[in-house]
Structure 1
Amino acid sequence: MKRQELLQLANNWFTDQDWKPFKFQKDTWTAYLQKKNGLLNAPTGSGKTYALWVPIVLDYIKKNPDFKTKHKKGLKAIWITPLRALSVEIEQAASRFAEEMGTKFTVGIRTGDTPQKERAAQKKSMPDLLITTPESLHLLLSSKNYPKMFKDLQAVVVDEWHELLGTKRGVQVELGLSRVKTISKDLRIWGISATIGNLQQAREVLLGPDSEALDNSVMIRANIKKKINVRSIIPAKMEKFPWRGHLGLHLLDEVVPIIKNSRTTLLFTNTRSQCELWFQKLMNKYPEFAGEVAMHHGSINKETRLWVEQAIRNESLKAVVCTSSLDLGVDFAPVETIIQIGGPKGVARFLQRAGRSGHQPGKESMIHFLPTHAIELIEASALQKAVEKKAVEDRIPYLMSYDVLVQYLNTLAVSDGFLPKDIYPEIASTFCFQGITEDEWRWILNFITKGSQSLQAYDEYKKVEIKEDGTFKINNRAVAMRHRLQIGTIVSDAMLSVKYMKGGYIGTIEEWFVSKLKPGDTFTFAGGILELVHIKNMQVLVRKSSKKTSKVPSWQGGRMTFSAQMSELLRQEMYLAATLGEKESRSRELTALKSIFKRQKRESIIPKNNEFLIESFKTREGFHAIFYPFEGRFVHEALGSLLAYRISLLSPISFSIAFNDYGFELLSDQEIDMQQVLDNDLFSSEYLMDDLYKSLNATEMARRKFRDIAVVAGLVFTGYPNKLVKNKHLQSNSQLLFSVFRDYENDNLLYQQAFRETFEHQLEEGRLRESLERIHSQNIVWKKCEKPTPFSFPIITDRLREKLSSEKLEDRIKRMLQQLEN
């Protein structure tokens, strides 16, 4: 069958559904049938599954003219998705098309949720299309005779590639593809990505730099102009001194009409604790929503999550309060409106969430922005401009993730074993390991066979044996089983199961939060108030409580930071506010903030483009110095520590440091000599690394990072499924190894990786350097103020909140406000 006839088959099928294929779908079909690899840039809900699944089936029809009567069994395509929730939808769409085209194609799912019986059946007879996750792909590579399974593979599609890129799961995909490419000579590789700043680089990472696959590839963009309508919920009465304490709950009454006027609304919060709180308050104040409003976050049990997702599809829910657990994928056509509570901290995340509404080709997306404090309205104004300009962040890919490489080599050693001379070129062809040297490669091989120089005396680290023919192989069955259980790169804080005393699983909660509770304490979880009875064998046993007040669990993933893109947009908006005259037109948000800006200008200034603002004032707490780089929490945490350290070198003084996304505060019981700070050029980027090491206790941060690296590399075992190792034991085991490497083997590549990741990914050293250089080029304006200013207020109240209970905090803030309003 000629290509034109094949394409006509697809066009006819679309016509039968009363659909019309988009240009990007047709372009992708043609490119695939021309044996091209590629990256498809398409938004969620635009029909991207059919863009790639259709040509895979058409290609099979072309190669098998008697496809209706004869079926050649075996794995022909793999569809990798980061989220298990997506796999069901992909399966339904793929099965439908394959069946209606008259093929006998089978579609299977293999993820962490797939029952053991089904996995065993798949091993005996693989489906034609396997929908799976990066972890499950590696589990297949750990099977005996895996090359036989992959030999007829024609296509690998990596869905939501932008989500995997910039994570170690992305590195897993790179390594998996490097192996499969060698086995299957005719393989075509495609990625599907939403818009990110570095799409060209995303294609290079997927296909491998300087590879034949990259040379024979295309980038296809779905230029679908999806209209996104952004509206801010502006409080009727604007507070002059904004603070983050109430998490936006004072605007609860503004949200209800929006929910009532939409088919279905998703309320996105940034943290699970905020999600719990919003759900609780909504139900308390509006009991008529019972049964119509639900909650969805990653720690609620799977059955509840799946029920909520199904209920959205069936239109049996009016609203769902959720976190990033619903950011991706799942196709919810009934969702009309999104409410974003608090700044989303990044443009890509905001666009992704907006796209959950009107989640069908041609539909408009509606997103309401609800500020948790007034100054967040500046973010709303900045986001609207970002949406217009499509100014989206880059996703920075990982380089030299030795822990993932060690895990991967152990995976290959568990299966049929590997010969280093065959595997080294494959690994060096990936983006992540393009710079690996022969010395580093030898170190890695030595590490998996002998356990590195300082661990040679311990047999447990000698996992891989070298056979006479030079094959590296794991022969010990117990080692192989433990390795298979631990394949993956997502390392979270130890999670404990929450269960009722009488039985019934509710969800999971982080160990560090529960460790602060005593029996009898109550906490809000999964929409109810629970009383802790006791903790036993990694299980939190609870009963329902009728108490009205309770602690809200906070998860350590809680506080997100601004992306560099968002920081830049925010600064531009702030500079605009500083220069606009009274009569000049401005956005609704900036207009609403007029009273705050007026007060800020009265007490201090709003910094212009070429100005860096420092404010100092005295309260009964002590002497405050507030700095405003507008660079996001993580950068401010590092900048605050760096500056405190440099000031202490000039004169002995101790500080407490507070920070938010707009700036940071140094608080001391003695006056800070600001003139000395300015005269000694303390914002210089010289000696940055040395000073950071000393000021931030970088060794301690690297030690925490090393725990994750040790788990991924298999240096510590997290336990069997029903008998997980306690987090404190994992921590102490990895800390012990960290100390051994520090004292006796500091050229250990995994030890060095912990420091590199701390600086590159956690402290964002590159961004920190750029911030210091920008401050260096600006005019520093130091304002001696009489009292706290509107801009400083959110930072001060954030610090108080770490120390005070919510009731005491509210009282304290009311008193502060009374003094300031005078």
Structure 2
Amino acid sequence: MNPVESWFRDAVGEPFAFQRDAWASQLAGESGLLHAPTGMGKTYSAWLPSLMRWCDGHPEQSTWQDKQTEPIRVLWITPLRALATDTEENLKKPIGALGLPWTVERRTGDVSATVKARQKKRLPSALVTTPESLSVLLSYADARQKFRGLQTVIVDEWHELMSTKRGTQTELGLARLRTWNPELSVWGLSATLGNLPEAMDTLLGPGLAPTGQLIHGPDHKQIEITTLLPDDMDRFPWAGHLGITLLPQVLAVLENAGSTLLFTNTRSQAEIWFNEIIAKRPDWIGEVALHHGSIDRKSRQAVEDLLRQGGLRCCVCTSSLDLGVDFSPVEQVIQVASPKGVARLLQRAGRSGHQPGKVSRVIGVPTNALEIIDFAAARDAAAARRIESRRPLDRPLDVLAQHLVTCAMGGGFTSGDMLAEVRSSHAYRNLTDQEWEWCLDFVRRGGETLKVYPQYARVVEDDDGRFGVASNKIARNHRLGIGTITSDAAIAVKFANGKKLGTVEEGFVGFLKPGDKFVFAGHLLQLVRVRAMVATVKKAKGKKAQVPRWQGGRTPLSTQLADAVRARLDDIRQRGSSADDLPPEMRAVAPLLELQTQWSVVPGSGKLLIETTTSRDGHHTFLYPLQGRLVHEGLGTLLAHRLTREAPRAVTVTVNDYGIELLSPEDPELTEADWRRLLHRDDLLEHLLEALNTSQLARRAFRDIARVAGLIQTGYPGQQVTNRHLQASSELFFDVFTDFDPDNLLLDQARREVLEQQLEVTRLTAALKELEQMRLEPRQTERLTPMAFPLWAERLREQHLTSQSWQDQVGKMVMRLEAAAGR
């Protein structure tokens, strides 16, 4: 038996069948995708064959200590720096135990300059890195020489990368490495993904995909999904109201477990929950920690170390701990608020019981009554393995432009060879000759508009037709800007003594004045001043304070979870809310659904419920497509636009994951024929473009495209350009291209990204097709129904009330409606 397999059996146990299949396939030189639930041993499935191959080639174990250190053999690409650290430690274990002459190192933005300098001379036997750091390595003139011994590339958590520009960047990097090493074996590791064959094809590219091996791990990873339920159910739910009221139950759950990860969907929620837990249980100070992406890296690292050691009772966190960092001591996971997607819930559940044979436990904490239904639906979908798919990107030219400059620096290229290489990636397999020539011209002279500015002539062609970088200055600036991660400008938060707490978004700090208090990183802080992208703070006393808001807090229900929600509501429509075999969540919301049935009807599949009612605010129309927030945003905007085209009227649109509210001062008096005319797919794109300020949306999207493509620079380390200046610079390019180069393909890309990523036009089109087939269920109601109430409350929140708090107004309306319902 191979010594590596013997070590595995002794250290881990009997290998699963899928692990043996993965070992055999990689030893045979094949490529593919390995899919298995979190915590089932994917890392060693992919890593050990390289060590096995070496041991087979060096059977005399007594001579190993005299061997020279093995050159680069394995490249391990990971999406997260924190994951790189954990992976590095796991890869070292068999090497240390067996005394193999292999080295393992990581190369990310966190690695010291000393280590990077050493790696410039010689790469380790196995290098753990990120897509950005791989691109940096490819930008050096001797990159091909450095990677000449590479045999295997492992892309970890491929499902997290493939639908992003970082995934496209990885595809291009793999295409470069395959060109240099035609026998290269490429493997992806994935969990919780619905379109695995497409994921494998995307990773391997058109050349390798037809022969790729898709290996499935066992599906028997046991996951328990339960929900904490309130003692007294609100029949009129409103966003966020229920969450903290369940704090006593959450504290009891934490009391009875060794270690818990408490996930929230936003950083703001994480800050709130951390402070509420500490306020109620001050004796837990030191046992409860906070972890999210805006907290300083050293603080996050300290929290991760405590988790590994089992030194925390609870860590309140966000998606910063979603991915496969191994925290074996974690016994359970708590999910605060709707998971919004089945894959997300399973991914987070897998952070507990992170070992083969262990049960993963996740406890849902709904923040309003409708989210109780979400958790029941998520458990249904998880049991049926209805997992969300992730779609790869198609020809983002900003990423290609960046990659061409990188390759020009990394030894140069010729046009024909590079075109063939680029087309060997899935993202650019359909790249046209016209698109290629445009992109090549863009990096050579900035395109037609910028040709008079020498700084945009980044790539030059020599007499032999080989492209290289134009100057050392351009190379230096390009290397600083490599990557596709873009975000709002961040303000560093520091104490006067220089201790850094983390970062908040520039837009949040812009609303604060010196002396204002806010909660961040578990501290109550007072703003002292803001200078040079640094917010200086001091500790404050008191209770009232603002909580920073970060972008991305309005994630919609996924298609799969929305389908499962409709199925749950259909069951209630058919059997009633008193059926004996209902899950506990549906029994808990029975009072709400019973009242909805009395005053209107429960929405569901095949029928579109349209409620109309009148209040002092005007005439309300509530529709319940049950398609998720983003589809409802597009649909609501479309309906309002079509209504105002037909007659001059004001229409206010409010949406949530369950429905849409249209509010107008006048009664629109719509018949079924009118609704059929409004709910059609004809002229969808034209009407959306008319209804929305798509030009402004495209401007915002263009800022990130301009940065990735190299038109604008974010600045040097420690001298970051402000968000305002970046936006101004990108808008200048946008206007110039619009006026003088309207066929610029980056403008076209910006429009496509707005339509597909921000407006989800494809999903909206499918929803309209479905609505066209539905039977309409109009209901005139005397007052707000339980399903309409959260939409009304959401609109009130968005009006930024000043004379009376939002909570007070909502609470008074709840009292009036409960009185009308006889409570």
**Equivalent of residue 501 in structure 1, options 496, 511, 527:** 496
Partner residue, 1:820: 817
CA distance in structure 2 between the partners assigned to 1:368 and 1:70 by the alignment:
51
Q: Does 1:264 align with 2:259?
A: yes
- Whether the 8 Å contact between 1:636 and 1:661 is mirrored in structure 2 is yes
What is the DSSP-based 3-state SS (H/G/I as helix, E as strand, rest coil) of the residue aligned with 1:717? Answer: coil
Which is worse superposed, 808-817 or 606-615?
606-615
- The one-character-per-residue Cα deviations of 1:330-373 (angstroms, maximum 9, x if unpaired) are 11111111111110100000000111111111001111111100
Give 1:445 shift. 0.8
What is the DSSP-based 3-state SS (H/G/I as helix, E as strand, rest coil) of the residue aligned with 1:335? Answer: coil
**Equivalent of residue 674 in structure 1, options 662, 670, 673:** 670
Please report the TM-score for the alignment, with normalisation by the length of structure 1.
0.97
What is the DSSP-based 3-state SS (H/G/I as helix, E as strand, rest coil) of the residue aligned with 1:300? Answer: coil
Which 5+ residue runs of structure 2 have no aligned equivalent?
A: none
CA distance in structure 2 between the partners assigned to 1:679 and 1:395 by the alignment:
33
**Equivalent of residue 785 in structure 1, options 778, 781, 786:** 781
Give 1:702 shift. 1.3
Please report the TM-score for the alignment, with normalisation by the length of structure 2.
0.97
Partner residue, 1:432: 427
- Whether the 8 Å contact between 1:301 and 1:507 is mirrored in structure 2 is yes
Partner residue, 1:43: 37
CA distance in structure 2 between the partners assigned to 1:18 and 1:411 by the alignment:
42
| Aligned AA (2:30) | K
Give 1:706 shift. 0.8
CA distance in structure 2 between the partners assigned to 1:539 and 1:670 by the alignment:
50
What is the DSSP-based 3-state SS (H/G/I as helix, E as strand, rest coil) of the residue aligned with 1:674? Answer: coil
Partner residue, 1:176: 173
- Whether the 8 Å contact between 2:755 and 2:761 is mirrored in structure 1 is yes
Which is worse superposed, 195-204 or 694-703?
694-703
CA distance in structure 2 between the partners assigned to 1:687 and 1:247 by the alignment:
41
Give 1:584 shift. 5.0
Partner residue, 1:752: 748
CA distance in structure 2 between the partners assigned to 1:608 and 1:121 by the alignment:
62
CA distance in structure 2 between the partners assigned to 1:549 and 1:421 by the alignment:
64
CA distance in structure 1 between the partners assigned to 2:38 and 2:515 by the alignment:
46
**Equivalent of residue 287 in structure 2, options 268, 284, 292:** 292
- The one-character-per-residue Cα deviations of 1:304-347 (angstroms, maximum 9, x if unpaired) are 11111111122221111111111111111111111111101000
**Equivalent of residue 80 in structure 1, options 77, 80, 89:** 77
**Equivalent of residue 146 in structure 2, options 149, 154, 157:** 149
Give 1:303 shift. 1.0
| Aligned AA (1:75) | I
- The one-character-per-residue Cα deviations of 1:368-393 (angstroms, maximum 9, x if unpaired) are 11110011111111111112111101
CA distance in structure 1 between the partners assigned to 2:376 and 2:90 by the alignment:
39
User: Kindly tell me: are residues 552 and 453 of structure 1, through their superposed partners in 2, closer, same or farther at Cα, counting changes over 3 Å?
Assistant: same
**Equivalent of residue 728 in structure 2, options 728, 732, 736:** 732
What is the DSSP-based 3-state SS (H/G/I as helix, E as strand, rest coil) of the residue aligned with 2:700? Answer: helix
Which is worse superposed, 450-459 or 478-487?
450-459
What is the DSSP-based 3-state SS (H/G/I as helix, E as strand, rest coil) of the residue aligned with 1:498? Answer: strand
Partner residue, 1:580: 575
Partner residue, 2:477: 482
**Equivalent of residue 54 in structure 2, options 54, 57, 60:** 60
Q: Does 1:491 align with 2:448?
A: no
Q: Does 1:113 align with 2:125?
A: no
Partner residue, 1:558: 553
CA distance in structure 1 between the partners assigned to 2:59 and 2:361 by the alignment:
47
Partner residue, 1:567: 562
What is the DSSP-based 3-state SS (H/G/I as helix, E as strand, rest coil) of the residue aligned with 1:488? Answer: coil
1:686-765 equivalence runs, <5 A: 686-765=682-761
Partner residue, 2:195: 198
Give 1:65 shift. 4.9
CA distance in structure 1 between the partners assigned to 2:517 and 2:574 by the alignment:
50
What is the DSSP-based 3-state SS (H/G/I as helix, E as strand, rest coil) of the residue aligned with 1:219? Answer: strand
- Whether the 8 Å contact between 1:379 and 1:570 is mirrored in structure 2 is yes
User: Kindly tell me: are residues 768 and 18 of structure 1, through their superposed partners in 2, closer, same or farther at Cα, counting changes over 3 Å?
Assistant: closer
Q: Does 1:130 align with 2:127?
A: yes
- Whether the 8 Å contact between 1:247 and 1:342 is mirrored in structure 2 is no
Which is worse superposed, 180-189 or 170-179?
180-189
What is the DSSP-based 3-state SS (H/G/I as helix, E as strand, rest coil) of the residue aligned with 2:331? Answer: strand
| Aligned AA (1:740) | V
1:248-647 equivalence runs, <5 A: 248-581=243-576, 582-583=578-579, 585-647=581-643
Partner residue, 1:70: 67
Give 1:73 shift. 4.0
Identity between Structure 1 and Structure 2 (%): 43
Give 1:547 shift. 2.5
- Whether the 8 Å contact between 1:154 and 1:188 is mirrored in structure 2 is yes
CA distance in structure 1 between the partners assigned to 2:814 and 2:760 by the alignment:
36
- Whether the 8 Å contact between 1:259 and 1:319 is mirrored in structure 2 is yes
- Whether the 8 Å contact between 2:354 and 2:360 is mirrored in structure 1 is yes
CA distance in structure 2 between the partners assigned to 1:102 and 1:745 by the alignment:
62
Which 5+ residue runs of structure 1 have no aligned equivalent?
A: none
Which is worse superposed, 699-708 or 398-407?
699-708
| Aligned AA (1:198) | N
CA distance in structure 1 between the partners assigned to 2:102 and 2:610 by the alignment:
66
What is the DSSP-based 3-state SS (H/G/I as helix, E as strand, rest coil) of the residue aligned with 1:204? Answer: helix
CA distance in structure 2 between the partners assigned to 1:61 and 1:13 by the alignment:
12
| Aligned AA (1:55) | P
What is the DSSP-based 3-state SS (H/G/I as helix, E as strand, rest coil) of the residue aligned with 2:369? Answer: coil
**Equivalent of residue 236 in structure 1, options 204, 212, 231:** 231
CA distance in structure 2 between the partners assigned to 1:154 and 1:19 by the alignment:
27
- Whether the 8 Å contact between 2:192 and 2:346 is mirrored in structure 1 is no
User: Kindly tell me: are residues 297 and 679 of structure 1, through their superposed partners in 2, closer, same or farther at Cα, counting changes over 3 Å?
Assistant: closer
- The one-character-per-residue Cα deviations of 1:266-316 (angstroms, maximum 9, x if unpaired) are 111100001101111111122222111111100000111111111112222
Partner residue, 1:219: 214
CA distance in structure 1 between the partners assigned to 2:675 and 2:109 by the alignment:
59
> What is the number of residues matched between the two proteins?
814
CA distance in structure 2 between the partners assigned to 1:814 and 1:162 by the alignment:
43
